[in-house]
A and B are shown apart, each in its own frame.
Chain A
Amino acid sequence: MVDPVIASRLQFALTTIVHIIFPVMSMGLAPFLVYFTWKEIRTGEALYERLRRFWVKIFALSFAVGTVTGLVLEFEFGTNFAAFSTAAGELFGGPLAVEGMMAFMLEATFLGIFVFGRERVSDRLYFVSSVLVGLGTWLSAVWILIANSWMQTPRGFEMATRGGQPVVLLTDPLAAYANPRFPWMFVHMQNAAVLSVALFMAGVAAYHIYRRRHLDVVDSGNLDAEFWRTTLKVALVVLVITAPFQVVHGDAYGRHVAETQPQKFAAMEAVWETDSYVPEYIIAFPTSVEDLTDPRAKDIFGIGIPGGASWLASGGDPQAEIQGLNEFGEAPPVAIVFWSFRLMVGLGFWFVLLAFWAAYRWYSGELYEDRLLHKALMASSLLGIVAVEVGWVVTEVGRQPWVIQGVMKTDAGVSPNLTGGEATLTLAGFAVAYLGLLGLYTYVVGRLVRRGPEPALPESEREDPTVVESPEASVDD
């Protein structure tokens, strides 16, 4: 029997970690789909119709799984974190309700048109639907991050008691919801989602170009070659923009964290004693198992920029002082935060390198010939999502032991009447169900990706669509 507090935290962590994959896919795919739809309507080319139809399938699947896994999170605030919900509901519930009404509704209704309505509605309404679906996914992130950013840097409230329970009262809506953390989180998350999907698309396109040599021949009317080459190019254009931006933005975001959550920043850098001229380890090697599980910046062997962390935290002063974790009396699980942060940053730099490499090959006319590049793209296709995951681990684990920074401890937020048996049962249930869910999603997306796009609809059939079913025999190569 797991302690209800621990089981609830593990369950929330598990359900969030799995859930985040699906919104990342839909938020990231949205701008690509708007572009493909726009091109399809403007040019009438079969290529864009195929691109749109293919990627919409993956979008619709991600949305369906994202909806049910997101509903789980909403319910968990009530079932597992009742004390938090009672205390913070006045500030926290509002954004969630507005997210449902403003963003989720927009996305879900227009997705019906976007998935099923190509032949039913006008071109104009169809294009507007693609934009509104995308807008819905992005607005969802706005409201969820407004709620989350308030937990990171709470503002605009007063503490009170109601019925003997501590509650948070909203006093200044503007301060609470136009929170200093919000713009940082939103830009970082949005760009991460688009970057992740660009990597995924590039990886999938590289797979087809690498695996199927006949894709080398493009001028003999090879439609699949055209399909995958366009996918690759569109993905690379986006990658070249988003990857460097994420690094530059992340650097500035780090400074903001150092200012507003010094405890989290110290955990990211494993700084225990307050110090100045703290180095930033680009590559860090633990010198013993102990340093792996309990890293301390001083004991880490690595390639570091002298004064780098100080420079990061202060925005340009390598001599700046960084508050150590010992000053706070308690610390988050430092190892998780420290290594997750390193993994995220390392991946960020790798994406930049990959983007420049591909851009150079494109420029030199060898984009479809560099097989090493194709391998690198394939290997990196899911790494954007990995970076998002570890990024969220830094954000959420780095805030511990607080659920609302400086206001409420996480263990105080758990439902008081929850039993260990109930919590253990659902935790085990979710562990099994979500593993299955993830396996299923991976299987289905993998299958769609391996099969590739359906043939373009012949001109005569575009007015009267029927379901085009590929013969089962050609499914698995």
Chain B
Amino acid sequence: MIDLPVSFGTLWFGIVFAFLGVFLFLDGWDFGVGAIFATREDPREREQCLAAIGPFWDGNEVWLVVFGGALFAAFPPVYAALFSRHYLLLFGVLGALILRGLAPEMYEQRHDEAWHRWWGRAFVVGSVGAPLLLGIFVGNWLVGATGLALTSVVVGLAVVALTVVSGAAFLALKVRGPLREEMAHYGTRAVVAYLALVVVALAGLWTRPAFRAELLTGPALALVAVSVVLAGGYAVAIRRDRRYAALAASGGLTGALVALVAWLRYPVVDPVAGLTVESAIIGSPAVELLTVGAAILIPLVVTYFAVLYSAFSGPIDAEEAY
């Protein structure tokens, strides 16, 4: 037996949301770059956008697989109930991810204008569609909606804005020249939009009696306050060209959002099926085995990412294209 200060249910609830947060942050760069790509006309700049995420996006995307795998492994009934309930929504996510995953590989294969135009569009649709639909999924999960709740749609839009916040900070680090100058512009607008959308989403939650008391608890208020401070910090940092600070602030914003969702959701993992962390967690010895596996593997995975990101640290060279 493993002795833990928290129950396995709570631990894995935390791990599942942590994986979701890491995915939203890391792949958020890639999604955000995809959204910014849409606004750039110059083929050279478009190539730079693709080159900036080239070595990373495969690895970043795997966090979604890991999130899904952890939810499935630790809370199989929740995975089953949640995924089958959001059937079409999740296939939408898959469609967007297929477009987003194929586009950079395909863009590269031919050098004619029509080909680039079409795969550029696929890249944009995938990069905006995936966070939008995933945000709606998370919003629905939070409020326990089975159809399409208005609040969930606002959460989806907020997640899109958040990816642009991250993407602008990331791109500012990776490119040089005029494109980099523009990032303060994109980042500031996106962070304002994000805050506005979060306020609307919170107002939406306020109308639901189940959340009113939860929203007034200390941690929820603190996370909202932290988000406001981080948003301000991000806007200042990206304008002053403090690029690492801006990236860190966008990471903090993502973390605060996911933590808020997790806090409001805990300890019920699936409100519709009435499953709590204690009723949905797998039994021993399966959960102990899973925990030992994660304890060994998570530090290893962090090491892989450290090696990858340090190998490609700093801005891309002018000649480097995807």
Interface pair B282/A117, CB less than 8 Å apart? no
Q: How far apart are the CA atoms of A104 and B23 in the complex, in Å?
A: 14
Asked whether, in the complex, the Cβ of B76 is within 8 Å of the Cβ of A85, the reply is: yes
Please determine whether B301 and A101 come into contact, CB atoms closer than 8 angstroms. Answer: yes
Please count the residue pairs between chain A and chain B whose beta carbons lie under 8 angstroms apart in the complex.
Answer: 234
Q: How many of A's residues come within 8 Å of B, CB to CB?
A: 75
B88-111 contacts to A (CB < 8 Å): 88, 90-91, 93-95, 97-98, 101-102, 104-106, 109, 111
Question: Which residues of B have CB within 8 Å of A77?
Answer: 72, 79-80, 83
Shortest distance from the beta carbon of B174 to any chain A beta carbon, whole Å: 13
Query: Nearest chain A CB to B240's CB is how many angstroms away?
Result: 29
**CB contact under 8 A between A90 and B80, given known A63-B58, A104-B65:** no
**Contact between B307 and A101, CB atoms less than 8 A apart:** no
> Chain A nearest CB: distance from B311 CB in Å?
5
Contacts of B95 in A (CB 8 A): 429, 433
A282 at the B interface (CB under 8 A)? no
A149 to B286, CA, bound (A): 18
**Residue from the list A86, A97, A113, A464 in contact with B55, Cβ < 8 A:** A113
Which of A46-54, A265-273, A324-332, A466-474 lines the interface with chain B? A466-474
A125 to chain B, nearest CB (A): 7
Residue among A60, A63, A89, A96 with max Cβ neighbours from chain B (10 Å): A89
Are B312 and A93 in contact (CB-based, < 8 A)? Answer: no
Residues of B58-73 whose CB lies within 8 A of A = 58-59, 61-62, 64-66, 68-70, 72-73
- A44-80: CB near B (< 8 Å → 1, else 0) gives 0000000000000000110111011111101101111
Residue pair A447, B109 in contact (C-beta under 8 Å): yes
CA distance A64 to B312 in the complex (A): 20
Find out whether the CB atom of B111 lies under 8 angstroms from the CB atom of A67: no
- A121:B311 contact, CB within 8 angstroms: yes
Interface of A is mostly: helix
A106, B102: Cβ atoms closer than 8 Å: no
Kindly state the separation between the CA atoms of A70 and B66 in the bound complex, as whole angstroms: 12
Docked complex Cα distance between A116 and B101 (Å): 17
Residues of A within 8 A of B64 (CB): 71
B26 shortest CB reach to chain A, Å:
11
* Contact across chains for A105 and B59 when beta carbons are under 8 A apart: yes
B80 touches A89 (CB 8 A): yes
Please choose the segment from A250-258, A390-398, A414-422 that sits at the chain B interface, where 4 or more of its residues have CB less than 8 A away. A414-422
Q: Provide the residues of chain A in CB contact with B73, threshold 8 Å.
A: 89, 93-94, 96-98
Docked Cα-Cα span, A87 to B19, in Å, equals: 24
List 6 A-B residue pairs with CB atoms under 8 Å apart, sorted by A's residue number: A85-B76, A90-B283, A93-B76, A111-B58, A115-B55, A169-B286
Return the 4 tightest CB-CB contacts between A and B, nearest first.
A89-B76, A78-B83, A112-B55, A97-B69
Q: A interface vs B, CB < 8 Å?
A: 60-61, 63-65, 67-72, 74-75, 77-80, 82-83, 85-86, 88-94, 96-102, 104-106, 108-113, 115-117, 120-121, 125, 162-163, 165, 169-170, 173, 415, 417-418, 422, 425-426, 429, 433, 437, 440, 444, 447-448, 464-467, 469, 472
